[in-house]
Structure 1
Amino acid sequence: MVLNEDASTLYVANNKTNDISVIDMNTLKEETRIDVGIHPDGIAYLKK
């Protein structure tokens, strides 16, 4: 799991479903999922 720089969005790698959940930290609801391939095991947030 990783938060963005202002802690408004949480990204969670889902190993069993091969995607990343994008969670709005204000509502605590999943906004979307991003397909990433087989068994994501780690995650990082990079600010551009």
Structure 2
Amino acid sequence: MYCYLIRHFIRFHGVRHPASMGGSEVRAFLKHLAVEHKVAAATQNQALKLGKG
């Protein structure tokens, strides 16, 4: 699951390295998951933890 979220996050932001991104990119990705993919809150929380890791 984590590998999928990381790959999806990187591709969502045009294959930029995660170290070059910040909170606004994480929020945009979480909004994308919620709106476009109707992802559950628990999955969004996992993605948020990855962004803080």
Verify same fold: TM over 0.5.
no
TM-score range, shorter chain: under 0.3
TM-score, normalised by the number of residues in structure 1: 0.26
> When the two structures are superposed, what TM-score results if normalisation uses the length of structure 2?
0.25
Name the structure with the higher helix share.
2
